[in-house]
Amino acid sequence: MRLGIELVSLCELFIPAGSHFEARAVVNGVVQENTAGRDEYRTAATLKPGQRILATGRLNIWDSGLAPAHVLRVRPAYLVPVAIRPRDRIGFLLRTSIPYSQGEIQSSMAVRIVGESGRSHGELALSKPGVTVDWEGRGRFRVDMGGWPVFGARKGGETR
């Protein structure tokens, strides 16, 4: 199956200049290196609720010299092959240069899984029961979203 992971803001989120976010999918505890994605914010940005913060499978660089601030758009995830079966545990590693606390990550962000067709399987707030966010060190988190399919029977539906 081909999939991508996108992290989105749940509230207005200020990203300082010189910041970056990285993510890699994890299936059954195994890091899927081919899914690596990185978003660099060379200029400060304020994200609105629902905007992408980062996505897997590609590199995205935000610089206001490339486009005015009101045009900020983090590109969607690039879908990459991942061997995944029903009931597999899925998650992701998150790395950022911003010293967020575990609580800040959980209260301000949601994850979106993008599947074969490029359609989202819905959003899952990182504060939802059943989602585990473990702090591994400054700017390093391991997120476990539980069994696949992540969003249960509500395909395409919101699960905030």
* Residue with more model confidence, 61 or 108: 108
Whether the per-residue pLDDT at 8 is higher than 60: the answer is yes
Q: What is the pLDDT of residue 72?
A: 67
Q: CA-to-CA distance for 73 and 61, rounded, in angstroms?
A: 10
Whether the per-residue pLDDT at 153 is higher than 60: the answer is no
- pLDDT confidence of 62, banded at 50, 70, 90? confident
Q: Please, are residues 104 and 80 in contact by the beta-carbon 8 Å criterion?
A: no
Q: CA-to-CA distance for 70 and 61, rounded, in angstroms?
A: 15
Global pTM value: 0.87
- pLDDT confidence of 159, banded at 50, 70, 90? very low
| Mean pLDDT, all residues of the chain | 87
Residues above pLDDT 90, as percent of the chain: 66
Q: Please, are residues 42 and 7 in contact by the beta-carbon 8 Å criterion?
A: no
Q: What is the pLDDT of residue 106?
A: 97
Q: Which residues contact 74 (CB under 8 A, 6 or more apart)?
A: 39, 51, 52, 53, 54, 55, 60, 62
Whether the per-residue pLDDT at 151 is higher than 80: the answer is no
Mean pLDDT of 22-41: 96
Q: Which residues of 71-97 are buried (b: 16+ CB within 10 A; e: fewer)?
A: ebebbbbbbbebebeeeebbbbbbbbe
- pLDDT confidence of 92, banded at 50, 70, 90? very high
Q: CA-to-CA distance for 6 and 4, rounded, in angstroms?
A: 7
Q: What is the pLDDT of residue 147?
A: 77
Query: Could you tell me the two tokens for 102?
Result: 């575990």
Q: What phi, psi does 104 have (nearest 5°)?
A: -65, -40
- pLDDT confidence of 23, banded at 50, 70, 90? very high
